[in-house]
């Protein structure tokens, strides 16, 4: 359910949000909603993919340490939940439990973005040895 793309820098935040929301819409119930959406922005396309995967490891209830990114995460979660996919794709108001973003700088002529979608079960249990 992952996808990566190279946007134009002029696409900006609106382009990133459109890409993420469209990816979730295309995925529908395939990733076993409710989902966690990991987003990587910046670096190279390979680095963006790694950031997206790494962002999934943050606890669901933990906000981004960056206030602006925290606001973007909140807005994206609302847009994704407004799609109405719902748990198991049966419709409803909760499609995404969390949206996490990691971002780093990149070349001025590029805007790499990657989305990694995981099902809720990867954060469902914790085992301590």
pLDDT at 77 over 80: yes
Q: Is residue 34 part of a domain?
A: yes
Q: Is residue 129 part of a domain?
A: no
pLDDT at 125 over 70: no
Range of the domain at 15: 3-123
- Nearest CA-CA partner of 35 in 84, 95, 125, 90: 95
What is residue 129's predicted lDDT score, i.e. its pLDDT? 75
Residue 64 DSSP one-character state:
P
| Overall number of domains in the chain | 1
pLDDT at 127 over 70: no
Preceding amide of 42 cis, omega within 30: no
Q: Average pLDDT for residues 104-127, to the nearest whole number?
A: 83
Q: Is residue 128 part of a domain?
A: no
Q: Average pLDDT for residues 71-99, to the nearest whole number?
A: 95
pLDDT at 100 over 80: yes
């Amino acid at each position: 359910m992952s996808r990566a793309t190279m946007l134009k820098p002029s696409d900006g935040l609106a382009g990133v949000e459109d890409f993420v929301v469209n990816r979730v819409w295309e995925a529908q119930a395939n990733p076993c909603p409710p989902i966690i959406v990991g987003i990587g922005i910046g670096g190279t396309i390979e680095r963006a993919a790694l950031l997206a995967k790494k962002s999934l490891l943050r606890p669901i209830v933990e906000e981004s340490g960056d206030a602006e990114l925290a606001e973007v995460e909140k807005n994206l979660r609302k847009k994704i939940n407004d799609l109405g996919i719902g748990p198991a794709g049966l419709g409803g108001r909760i499609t995404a439990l969390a949206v996490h973003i990691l971002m780093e700088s990149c070349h001025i002529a590029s805007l790499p973005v990657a989305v990694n979608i995981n099902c809720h079960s990867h954060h469902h249990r914790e085992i301590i040895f």
